[in-house]
Structure 1
């Protein structure tokens, strides 16, 4: 396990005191937000369940109608993100094996590691900020898009007869139909 810096220990204590969460949960959430570069997180803890968070307003938790839990998770992640945004180093060193991952990689390997990824039912997405690419999988079909000047900070998935996915960037909302599809 990686060692928290003094800044990381102080943040962990504040989170535990303010939100009444266990030390193990706190460490897991800090790792998840750090793995998402302070803008997103995927987490799975005994105490908070599993879910995703993206800065800008998207929070999904396994207990989907528990608004108090969504608010708690969003607040915790925002506080961790804020500390990172202020330049605080939270861990001495974050090992690649300690990163939170969503499972088997399904996107083209030449895209590298995504800044964020998520899935629900038969739909999945992976955002690659440095490559300016977005990969979307519906069933077994994978499409890759050029994100251009968009810096994707949020995602929304709608299930039902017409599964759709929309994204939020600094330029507003967009769908994959707004992006140019490219070869992987």
Structure 2
């Protein structure tokens, strides 16, 4: 995260005190909201019940799913932090987020929250020369930035930034395999896909020669199957079954998605 100004640190301290969270917890959530461009956040902190996700508009999921008091506090905190970021110049990477701080002195910030970067890529971690990403996020030690219009995906892991060609994938979401270290998958029209199957464009801004092994094979039916995609499809169905058991998906939603996935085999 970009360094806070003294005034910005005081704002965060005040917010932490009002919500009865530690400053460390609020800072971690601020980073998550910033990574999500003010419209979403994927977070993981003990004070927030472990891992969770928030989306602007009211959707929030936390590990302690039946703790409605904690859920409401985190949701309100995410919204306040998003509003706070919206008032900072050159922090959010698009104009789709509309500030809702009018008349609320707790969220409006008359001072600069962050120390302004000098030159470079305006504090962004992805390779220079790329325009604003369509979506960004982070989980554990991994960050991603997806540039749909130019078919590029930047992943930062273990201090290195890898730029991928997303081919014709229409990416709808990312996830990290908890047991797979830095393994990242995403959902597209072809199902659940491992990021490592995409062609690598560069690593730390150093171009990488194209590798034929990274390309996918188009099938006569028009679908494109990647190596190990059959296992990925069955894994996706198992995850959907868990969501149905928890009541997140209805039977109809589960059956429709299951049929869609099985049709790709």
TM-score (norm 2): 0.42
- Structure 1: gaps spanning 5 or more residues: 127-132, 142-156, 166-175, 177-184
Q: Which region of structure 1 is more displaced relative to structure 2, 4-13 or 14-23?
A: 4-13
Residue 249 (structure 2) aligns with: 158
Residue 192 (structure 2) aligns with: 137
Please state whether the residue corresponding to 2:4 is helix, strand or coil: coil
Residue 29 (structure 2) aligns with: 29
Runs of 4+ off more than 3 Å: 88-97, 102-105, 113-121, 133-136
TM-score (norm 1): 0.57
Please state whether the residue corresponding to 1:140 is helix, strand or coil: helix
Please state whether the residue corresponding to 1:100 is helix, strand or coil: strand
Q: Does structure 1 residue 91 correspond to structure 2 residue 92? A: no
Residue 71 (structure 1) aligns with: 72
- The question of whether the paired residues in 1 share the 8 Å contact of 2:32 and 2:138 is answered with yes
- Paired residues in the alignment total 141
Deviations 1:106-152 (A, max 9, x none): x99x441599945599xx866xxxxxx988638624xxxxxxxxxxx
CA distance in 2, matches of 1:118, 1:21: 28
Alignment CA distance shift 1:158-1:137 (3 Å): farther
Instruction: Pick the structure with greater CA Rg.
Output: 2
RMSD: 4.3
- The question of whether the paired residues in 1 share the 8 Å contact of 2:44 and 2:139 is answered with no
Residue 45 (structure 1) aligns with: 45
Write 1 or 2 for the structure with the bigger share of strand.
1
- The question of whether the paired residues in 2 share the 8 Å contact of 1:158 and 1:164 is answered with no
CA distance in 2, matches of 1:118, 1:125: 4
CA distance in 2, matches of 1:104, 1:158: 28
Question: What aligned pairs does 1:101-140 form with structure 2 within 5 A after superposition?
Answer: 101=139, 110-113=151-154, 117=173, 137=192, 140=232
CA distance in 1, matches of 2:34, 2:14: 17
CA distance in 2, matches of 1:29, 1:40: 11
Alignment CA distance shift 1:41-1:117 (3 Å): farther
Q: Which has the higher contact order (CA 8 A, sep 6+)?
A: 1
Residue 3 (structure 2) aligns with: 3
